[in-house]
Amino acid sequence: MPNASTACQSYGHASIEKQRQRLPVYKYRTSILYLVESHATTIVVGETGSGKTTQIPQYLKEAGWADGGRVIACTQPRRLAVQAVASRVAEEMGVKLGEEVGYTIRFEDISNPDATRIKFLTDGVLLREMMDDPLLTKYSVIMVDEAHERSISTDILLGLLKKIQKRRPELRLIISSATIEAKSMSNFFQSRRRRLSEGEEHTPRLEPAVLSVEGRGFNVQIHYVEEPVQDYVQATVSTVLLIHDQEPAGDILVFLTGQDDIEAAIKLLTEEARTNGKNSSGLIILPLYSGLSRAEQDLVFSPTPKGKRKVVISTNIAETSLTLEGIVYVVDSGFSKQKFYNPISDIENLVVAPISKASARQRAGRAGRIRPGKCYRLYTEEYFLNEMSAQGIPEIQRSNLVSCVIQLKALGIDNILGFDWPASPSPESMIRALEVLYSLGVLDDDAKLTSPVGFQVAELPLEPMISKMILASNELGCSEEIITIAAVLSIQSIWFSGRGAQKELDEAKLRFAAAEGDHVTFLNIYKGFLQSGKSSKWCHKNFINYHAMKKVMEIREQLKRIALRLGITMKSCETDTQLVRKAVTAGFFANACRLEDSFMAMLKYTVVVLFLLLTIDYGSSSRFIKENSSHLSDGMDQQKPIGASVSDEVGRLTTTVTCQATYGFLPCTTKVWGKLFLLVIYEYLLSLAQKYVARGSNLFFRMFGTGLFGAGLFNILAVFPQIMLILVGGATASPQMAQSMAGITMGLLTGSPILMLTIVLGSIIAFGSYDLSDTDSPNPDNADTSTAPNTEPDSDKPFSLTGLGVRTDIETKYSAIIMLFSMIPFLILLVAKLLSSAAARRVVFLVSLIVSFVFLVMYITYQVFQPWIQDRRLEYLFRKFIQDNLLGRLLTRNGRPDAVQIRRLFHRIDTDNDSFISPVELRAFILGIDMEEVGLDEEDFSAKILEEFDFTADGNINEAEFVRGISNWLRNANNDANDSQGDRKLFHFSLKKNNEEQQNLLPPAPAAKNGTTRKIKLAANTWWNYTEAAFFIILGTAVSVLIANPLMTTIREFSTSININSFVVSYVVVPLALNFRPAFRAITSAMRKSEKAVSLTFTELYTGTFMGNSMGLVIFLSLVYIRDIQWAVSAEVPVVLIICTAMGLFNIFSTKIELWTCILVYLLYPISLLLIYFLNNVLGW
C-alpha cells in the first residue's frame, strides 16, 4: 500500500496510514487473517468505531485474497453506507473510486469487472448476482457487515451463503456487526462434522470462529428525562439548544425517525437561530437520510469550521452504518421508523416505533469517539431498564415477503418453508406472498415459476407488481409510459422539500396533478422535465429534485435495456391514459378497493354497535358482588328512581347479578350468549392445548423411541390436558365449588373413552373398510405388497354390508384385553352405591384408587420389558409420517408406486426439457431439501441418487431410469413400513457415513414381531428437537392449567342458565374438543384400508382408553379422598363400564369386523346418553 502523505480531514497532523494503525482493529490484523485462513466462517463483533468495515477488506487484499482475479465483497444493508464506505476505502488506498475499489447499488454500478478487487455492495445486489452466478465463484471472501440490522436481504443472504459454503469449501465468510448475538449466529453456521477424506486435510474448519474487537470509545455519560416527553421533536430542539448554550465545543448528533421529523426539527432550530442570534449563531445544521443527494451527504462528513458546532440530524442510518468524526454529544429521541406488515389486510405501514436497547447503546456509543461524551435520552431510565426490548424484531418477521419469495424461487429454492432462515418468517406472511404471486401469474399450481411470465418478473430488479405492470404494458402498447412510471416508483421521492414552503410545494404538485392518479402525474412531470431541456432551474422552480430526476432517467435507461432483452417492444400510447391505467391495474389489482356509500357504511357500523350494546349487561360490573357487599362502587346503578322506597333500593342493590373476572383478566359475563361464547373459546383453547402436548410428546417419542419414555411419560402426556382439567379444577377450587364440580369431572372422565369407542371406532370401520374376500391370508401383513388387500373400487362387486369390513391382528386383541383391566376399578366403585355409610364408601373409593394405581404401574412396567405396545405406537406414528411425506404422495392407495406422479415429478425437475435430468438439475432440485435433517449434504446425496438411478452410466437420468429408480426406492420405503423381516436400506450401496445417518434417510422400520427388543426412533436427537418438544408440552400444559377453572365454572353456569344438566356439556362437548384431532388422525390413518393400518389404530384407541380411564380415575379419586368430597357414584360409572366392556369383548372374540357392525357401534353413543338419563331420572341414581 502506498504511504499517503496528505492530511486527513479529521486529524490535520497525521497521515492516513497512522490513522489506520490507531484504529482498534489494527492490533487484531494477524488474528483476523489467521481465523479467515483456518475457518470457513469468522464472526467479528466489533464495537462502534473499531474500523472493522474499512480495514478488514484491506487486510484481506494485502494478504492475497484478491490475487488471481478474485474479488473481496463487503455487503451493507444501506445504499448510503455502501457509497460512503467505498469512498473512504478508496481514499485510504490512494486509488480512484470505481477501479481497484468500487461499489454497486441498485441501478448504479461504479466498478470495473477487470480491475475491481474490493467491491462494496448492498445485500440485495449480491442476491441479484446469484441469479447469474449461483455459487458466486468470482468472490474469495464475502463480508456481511452490519448483520445485526437483520434486513430481509441479509437473512436471505445468510441462508444462501450457508448453502453455497457446502458447495465451495474454499469460500470464506465474515459476519461483522457491533451488537450481533455471536452465539446464535455461530449456531446458525455450525455445520455437521464429517470425516475428512484424502486431500481434504487442509480444508477450513467448519466451526465458526468468533472474535471480539473493542472500540476506541471514551466514557459516555447517559442523561435521562425525569418525565416522559410529549413532543419528542420539540424536546430534541430544546436539548440541542441547551447543549449549545452550556456545553463545551463538540458536534451534536441527533437521532429522529425520518425526513419529516428531521425537516421539522431543522425548521424549529433555524427559527430559533433567527430569534436568538447570539446563542444560536454558531450552529451548522445538516440533515442525514437516504434520500439526500451525494453533495448533501458529503457536507455531513466534511470537517467542522473552527468556532462552529455541527448539528447532524439523522435517521437510524447513523447508528452503525456510518461513522461521523467529531461527535461529542448525542440526542436520542428513542424512536425510529420501522416497516410493519399485516398479511391479513395486505397493508405495509412505515410506523414510528420505540427502538431496542441494542440500538440505544449503539446511539450512545457515537458520542465517545474523540473524547468523553454525553448522551441525552428523551425517555426515562425506568423505561429503558424495564420496558424497552433487548433486541429489535428482524425485518423478515414484519415485512411483505412477495419479493423475498420470488427471489428464492428464481434461485431454485422451491421448498420455501424448508429454507434455513436465521429467523423464520410468519406462516401468514409466507402464505400471503404465495397467494399474491399466484394471482399475478408468477407461480403455477405447484408453486413454481411460470414460463415465461414468472422468469421475466424475476429478471426485472423491481417489485413483482411493478414488473408485472411492465409486462402487461407490452400487450397494451404503452411500454414507454410504464417504464417511466416504474423508474419514478423506484426512487424514494422526486419532490424537493421546501423546508417551510409547504404551501408552495402543494401548489407545484397541483400544476402537474392528473385526475387519473399519481402515476399519470409522474408522466406529466417527466414530460415537463424533458421539454425544459432537463433544466435544473425548472426543477427548482417546481420543487422537483433535480438529482432525483437524473436518477429517474438513468434507471429508465437500464429498465429499457432489460425490457428489450426480455422481448418487450417499446411503444407509446401517446395521450391514451386508459391504457396506462389498465397496465397499472394489471400489476396492482391486489391493492384495489371499492368506494362504499358512506350512509350504508355508517348503517352497518351502527347495527354492529347496537348489537354489542344489547349484549352487554349494564346491571353488572366486576366491582359488584352478588348479595350484600361492603365493596365500594363508583356510583353506577345507584341513582335512585323517583318514587322508589329505601327498601326497594336496597333490594335492587342486593339482587344485582354480577360476575368476577377470573385471574383478574379473563372475561366474564352474565348473558347466556356470552357464556356460550366463552364456552366455545375455552373449548378451542382446550383443543389447542391437546394439540401442543401431543405434538411435543410425539416428537419426544420419535427421538427417544421405545423404552422407558415411551412406556411411562409418553402415555401420561397423551392424556395430559384431560388430567390437568380434573386436577386443577378439583385442587384449586373452593370446597363448595369442588363438591359441585364432581359430577362435571366424572362426565369429562367418562365422555372421552365412550366417544372414542363409539363414534370414532365406528368411523374407523366405515372409512377403513375394504373387500374382505381379498384378505383370506392368515397373516397378510407379512405378505408382499403385491398381495395387499384390494382397496380400489370394483364395479363388478355390489356394495355389501357383510362383504366389506376390516380385520384386526392378534396384538389388537391383546390391547382390548388390557383395556378391560381398566374396568375393574369402575366395577369396584359400583359397590359403593350399595353402601349407606359414608365411611364405608370412602374405603371403597380408596380400594378403587389403589387398584387403578397398581394397574397403571403394572401397565408401564409391562411395556418396559415387553415393548410391543410401544413398537405399535411408533409404527402408527411412522405410518402417519410416511403418509404426510413426499413418498406417500408418490404411492397409489394400495401402496404401489404411482408411475404417473413419478413422471410428472421427472418433468418438473427437467427444467431445460431435454428429457434428461443432469447433475446440475438434480442438485437444483435437492437444494430445496434440507438434507442436514437426515445426515447428508446435498452434494453427497445427489451423487448417491445419480449412482443409484443412472443404470446406463451416461451421467444423466432419463425418464425410464427415473421411474425405475424412484419405484425401487418407494418399494423399499413402503416395505420398511409394512414388512416385519428386519431392516431394509433405501439405497443398495454402502454409504461412507455411519448406520444412523444411513437409516435417517427414512424413518427406521418398526420392531419385529418375534419378540426381540429393538430400540427404534423417527427423529434426530438435536437440541432444536428437544427445545421444540419441550416448548410445546409446556405451552399446552400452561393453556390447560389456565383454562381449567374458567372452563369448569362456565360449564356449570351455562348449564344452569339454560336449565340443562351440566353433564351434557362435560360428557359431550368437552370430550369432543379434547379428542377431535386424535380422532381425525385415527380415521385418516384407517383410510389406508389395510389390516395393519386398522389394527394399529384400534390399538391406539384401546391403549389410550386404558390410560385415560386409569390415570383419570387415580387423579379424581385422589381428589375425592384428600379433599373429602361427598360424591355419590354417578350414573356415568355403570355406563362407561357397559360400553367399554362391550367393545372390548367384541374385539376379543372377533378379528373380522363386517361393515354393518359400524351402525351398531354408532348407536352405542346415543344409547349411552339414554342410559344416563334413565339411571338419573327414572331410577333416581
pLDDT in tens, 194-234: 444 444 445 788 888 888 887 666 788 999 999 999 899 99
**What is the spatial distance between Cα 1125 and Cα 844, in angstroms, rounded to a whole number?**
14
* pLDDT at residue 740 greater than cutoff 80: no
HEC string of 917-937 equals ECHHHHHHHHCCCCHHHHCCC
* pLDDT at residue 596 greater than cutoff 60: no
The alpha helices in 133-248, defined as continuous H runs, are 152-167, 182-189, 232-246
Label residue 354 by pLDDT band (50, 70, 90): very high
Label residue 1060 by pLDDT band (50, 70, 90): low
Higher pLDDT, 813 or 911: 813
* pLDDT at residue 174 greater than cutoff 90: yes
**Mean pLDDT, range 625-642, rounded to an integer:** 38
**Mean pLDDT, range 1042-1053, rounded to an integer:** 72
Q: State pLDDT tens for residues 1072-1106.
A: 766 776 777 778 777 767 777 788 788 888 888 88
The reported pLDDT for the residue numbered 398 is: 86
Phi, psi of 178 (to 5 degrees): -95, -30
Instruction: Indicate the residue type of 308.
Output: K
* pLDDT at residue 492 greater than cutoff 90: no
Least confident piece of the model among 360-369, 542-551, 1073-1082: 1073-1082
Nearest to 143 by CA among 126, 168, 167, 163: 126
* pLDDT at residue 952 greater than cutoff 80: no
**Mean pLDDT, range 153-179, rounded to an integer:** 87
**What is the spatial distance between Cα 1073 and Cα 179, in angstroms, rounded to a whole number?**
46
- Of the chain, the percentage scoring pLDDT greater than 90 comes to 16
Cβ atoms of 467 and 456 within 8 Å: the answer is yes
Label residue 58 by pLDDT band (50, 70, 90): very high
Cell of 186: 455461530
CA 1065 to chain centre: 36
**What is the spatial distance between Cα 687 and Cα 721, in angstroms, rounded to a whole number?**
9
Higher pLDDT, 797 or 832: 832
**Mean pLDDT, range 1128-1145, rounded to an integer:** 86
**What is the spatial distance between Cα 977 and Cα 1093, in angstroms, rounded to a whole number?**
10
**What is the spatial distance between Cα 713 and Cα 36, in angstroms, rounded to a whole number?**
47
The reported pLDDT for the residue numbered 1087 is: 76
Label residue 624 by pLDDT band (50, 70, 90): very low
**What is the spatial distance between Cα 667 and Cα 659, in angstroms, rounded to a whole number?**
9
Give the distance between the most distant pair of CA atoms in the chain. Answer: 109
The reported pLDDT for the residue numbered 736 is: 63
The reported pLDDT for the residue numbered 72 is: 95
**What is the spatial distance between Cα 235 and Cα 160, in angstroms, rounded to a whole number?**
44
Q: What is the pTM of this model?
A: 0.49
For each of the domains in the chain, give its residue range(s) and CATH number, in order of start. 16-194+202-213 (3.40.50.300), 220-397 (3.40.50.300), 414-591 (1.20.120.1080), 678-867+1023-1178 (1.20.1420.30), 874-999 (1.10.238.10)
Higher pLDDT, 770 or 1142: 1142
H or E element in which residue 285 lies: strand 283-288
Q: State pLDDT tens for residues 376-429.
A: 999 999 999 998 988 888 888 888 888 888 888 888 888 887 788 888 888 888
- Of the chain, the percentage scoring pLDDT greater than 70 comes to 69
**What is the spatial distance between Cα 331 and Cα 253, in angstroms, rounded to a whole number?**
6
**What is the spatial distance between Cα 983 and Cα 972, in angstroms, rounded to a whole number?**
10
**What is the spatial distance between Cα 937 and Cα 952, in angstroms, rounded to a whole number?**
25
Cell of 839: 365411611
Nearest to 805 by CA among 769, 768, 858: 769
Cβ atoms of 1089 and 791 within 8 Å: the answer is yes
Cell of 1123: 379433599
Q: State pLDDT tens for residues 887-920.
A: 455 666 555 676 777 777 777 777 667 777 776 6
* pLDDT at residue 1009 greater than cutoff 50: no
The reported pLDDT for the residue numbered 1148 is: 85
Least confident piece of the model among 103-112, 445-454, 823-832, 886-895: 886-895
* pLDDT at residue 1000 greater than cutoff 50: no
**What is the spatial distance between Cα 193 and Cα 202, in angstroms, rounded to a whole number?**
15
Label residue 771 by pLDDT band (50, 70, 90): confident
H or E element in which residue 298 lies: helix 294-301
The reported pLDDT for the residue numbered 993 is: 32
The reported pLDDT for the residue numbered 789 is: 41
3-class secondary-structure state, position 374: strand
Classify strands 335-342 and 347-354 as parallel, antiparallel or unpaired: antiparallel
**Mean pLDDT, range 641-657, rounded to an integer:** 39
Label residue 726 by pLDDT band (50, 70, 90): low
Compute the C-alpha angle 478/480/485, nearest 5°.
95
The reported pLDDT for the residue numbered 321 is: 61
3-class secondary-structure state, position 822: coil
The reported pLDDT for the residue numbered 1124 is: 76
H or E element in which residue 142 lies: strand 139-144
Higher pLDDT, 596 or 468: 468
Compute the C-alpha angle 130/132/133, nearest 5°.
60
The reported pLDDT for the residue numbered 991 is: 28
Higher pLDDT, 185 or 877: 185
**Mean pLDDT, range 1058-1063, rounded to an integer:** 63
The reported pLDDT for the residue numbered 780 is: 38
Helix axes of 1023-1057 and 742-755: crossing angle, nearest 10 degrees: 120
Most confident by average pLDDT, 184-193, 646-655, 708-717, 746-755: 746-755
The CA-atom distances, in angstroms, between 749 and each of 713, 722, 754, 763 are 20, 8, 10, 22
User: What is the average pLDDT value for the chain, to the nearest integer?
Assistant: 75
The reported pLDDT for the residue numbered 3 is: 39
* pLDDT at residue 1159 greater than cutoff 80: yes
**What is the spatial distance between Cα 419 and Cα 472, in angstroms, rounded to a whole number?**
32
Least confident piece of the model among 144-158, 284-298, 718-732: 718-732
